[in-house]
Amino acid sequence: MPVLRSSRFLGVLISILLGLILLVPGAFAITTEDLPVARPEGHVVDSADVLSRVSRSQIEGRLVELGNERLDARLITLRKLDYGVSLSSFGSSLIDRWSTNAGEKELPLLVMLIDAQTKQTVVLADTSLRSTLPDALLQSTGRTTMNKPVVGGERYQQASFDAIARLQVVLDGGEDPGPPIEAFSAIKQTNIPSQEQTQSSNATLVVVVLMVVGTIVPMATWWVFSR
């Protein structure tokens, strides 16, 4: 009987563990339903918890400056999206959700999204902003300006700053500065040997000296003692 009870207990325990394992992948996934129905007071929603308190505060200030009473700029970071949901579709649903429940005085939305798991970044805006912020600009800002700092080193704050700065120029009436330019440092040619070259040269010299010594010393010894 004790053996039978132990087997049953073990079977129940395994079933519970398997159920938990199956539930875990979806437990951390987020949908628009997990976010507030109305726009939150803060402009930064760091649900992925990838920003420090200082970073959130600094980004918040720049988003407010970007809006400047003409739009409502938001940054949302996500830990993981629900299966089959793209970052763009999530952003579009979020804009619809927050626009539907918006008050009369609330401005059109500009949303910057970061998927911390896949390192994807997207910038979307309300359709009423297309004349000022065309889709091509938003797509380029999301795919290049924001994406490079994230993919290159998980620099989420820098990605946000770069995107805000680019859009700020356009909103202020300037020409789109375009995506960041990658700087390549040219390697200068020099006749001064490097440390590796010097070490290699020294090693070769030592080998040559040892070979010479190994050849001459036995010959000299034989010549001296043969006389």
One pLDDT digit (tens) per residue for the chain, 227 residues: 554 455 555 554 455 544 444 444 445 678 888 888 899 999 999 999 999 999 999 999 999 999 999 999 999 999 989 888 999 999 999 999 999 877 778 899 999 999 999 999 999 999 999 999 999 999 999 999 999 999 999 999 999 999 999 999 999 999 999 988 765 444 445 555 555 555 566 667 666 667 766 677 676 665 556 65
Helix (H) or strand (E) holding 108: none
**What is the rounded CA–CA span in Å between residue 59 and residue 44?**
7
**What domains, with CATH codes, occur in the chain?**
32-171 (3.10.310.50)
**CB neighbours of residue 160 within 10 Å:** 26
pTM above 0.85, yes or no: no
